[in-house]
Structure formats: structure tokens, C-alpha cells
Homo-oligomer: A and B are copies of this chain.
Amino acid sequence: MTTGLGDSPARTSYRHGDLRRALIDAGVDLAQEGGPAAVVLREATRRAGVAPSAAYRHFADRQALLDAVCSSCQALVARAIEADQAGIRSTDAAEAARLRFRAVGTGYLRFALEQPGQFQTAFSASSDLDSATSSARAGDSGLTPFQLLTVALDDLVAQGLLAAERRPAAEFLAWSAVHGLAELFIDGPLRALPDPVKQTLIARVINMVEQGL
């Protein structure tokens, strides 16, 4: 056996081991550095140490690679939300549900500010409601960002913090507000705002959602 498999540092000649994974990882790096437009097929193959055409053994075209990178980035968003939720310490079940709901927003927006390129990539490409629940986009809990929001809203209803008749489509209202703020932060007019002001806006948007749902 001439080559180990899955070894990133050592270059193996010819057979790569797991080129598909390597291309997606390179794509995620590119997305981090420059957003979806920077996910360039040739550069990904360069970083994986293979010829450009090799990518076509694993992806139909550049868009297919970008879709896969997009899914990976959504999984990172899910992880960021889970991280914020994991920090919650509360004995009161109702209060805990409320904090878990808010953590969906804070985690989402924290990730958008910390990794704007990956965030933009996560929501750049084709994603209908079906693929929003694909497992490739899930975090450690096995849930996608969208599903984490849905669960948090269900919990609000279960704890009596949200009237059942206001529950339908509430995920879209909450998502709109939080996602819109992220867009304004990343390449919208709020880009240059100092960080404390951004934090204040984040809290106020989440307040608006809580009161307005």
C-alpha cells in the first residue's frame, strides 16, 4: 500500500483517498476568505493538489460543488446556534425555552459577524424548503438552522409563551427579521457600525420579534 487515505498533509500520487471531501473543505475555506464568488473550482482543485478536471468525477459542475459547500456552511451555522444554546443555565423551564429561542437569533447573528463569507455562502444558492431539512446541513444535534428555529418556537408554545394561533408561519417572521439584519450587517449599509452598536441592534431585533410575533 503506497498511500494512506484521508491524509491531508502528505500528498499521495494519483488516487487521492477522498477528493470529494477535500474539494468541499477547500471550498469552505474559499468561502471563508471571499464569500460564494470566491468558491472557484480550479482553485479548489489546486488546493487539493489535483488537476481541474478531476473535480468533475465528483461534481456535475461548479454549481454542484457550491451547493455542497453551501450545505457545509449551513451546518456551521447550526453549530453556532447550538453553541449559544448550550451556554444556557436556567432551572425555570419557561425561561429556558425563551432563552433557547433567543439563542437561535444570537447564534445566527454571531456567526454572520464572525464568518461573513461562510454565512453568505450558506444562504447564497439553491435551497428550497426540502433541502432546508437535509441532513448535510445539520449541526451536532442533527438539526439544520431552520429546524432549530422551528423546535425553539414549538417549545415557546409548549411553555405557554406564544399563543398557538400565532404559531403558524412564525419561523418565517422570525427568520426574516434576523436574516435581514445579518444582510444589512454584512454587505448592507450597517457594515461599518462599531461592534457594540451592532450588539444593541441584535438585542432590539430579537425583542421586536418576541413582541411582534
Listed in ascending order, the chain A residues whose CB lies under 8 Å from chain B are 123-129, 131-132, 146, 169, 172-173, 175-184, 187-192, 200-201, 204-205, 207-213
- Contact partners of A184 in chain B: CB under 8 A: 172, 175-176, 179
Partner of A189, one of B128, B173, B212, B213: B128
A127 touches B211 (CB 8 A): no
A192 nearest in chain B by CB position: B128
Known: A176-B181, A176-B183. 15 other contacts (CB 8 A): A123-B188, A124-B187, A127-B188, A129-B192, A131-B189, A146-B189, A169-B204, A172-B190, A173-B208, A177-B180, A177-B208, A179-B183, A180-B183, A209-B212, A212-B212
Give me 28 A-to-B residue pairs in the complex whose CB atoms sit less than 8 angstroms apart, sorted by A's number. A123-B183, A123-B188, A124-B187, A127-B188, A127-B189, A128-B191, A129-B190, A131-B189, A169-B200, A172-B181, A172-B184, A172-B201, A172-B205, A173-B201, A176-B180, A176-B181, A176-B183, A176-B184, A177-B180, A177-B205, A179-B188, A180-B180, A180-B183, A208-B209, A210-B212, A211-B211, A212-B212, A212-B213
Interface class of chain A by DSSP: helix
Inter-chain CA distance A173–B208, complex, in Å, is 8
B213 touches A208 (CB 8 A): yes
A178 nearest in chain B by CB position: B180
Instruction: Name the residue in A178, A189, A204 with the highest tally of chain B Cβ atoms < 10 Å from its Cβ.
Output: A189
Question: Closest CB of chain B to A197's CB: distance in Å?
Answer: 8
Inter-chain CA distance A32–B172, complex, in Å, is 26
Inter-chain CA distance A187–B131, complex, in Å, is 13
B132 touches A187 (CB 8 A): no
B212 touches A129 (CB 8 A): no
- Contact partners of A176 in chain B: CB under 8 A: 176-178, 180-181, 183-184, 205
A126 touches B172 (CB 8 A): no
A183 touches B183 (CB 8 A): yes
- Contact partners of A188 in chain B: CB under 8 A: 123, 127, 179
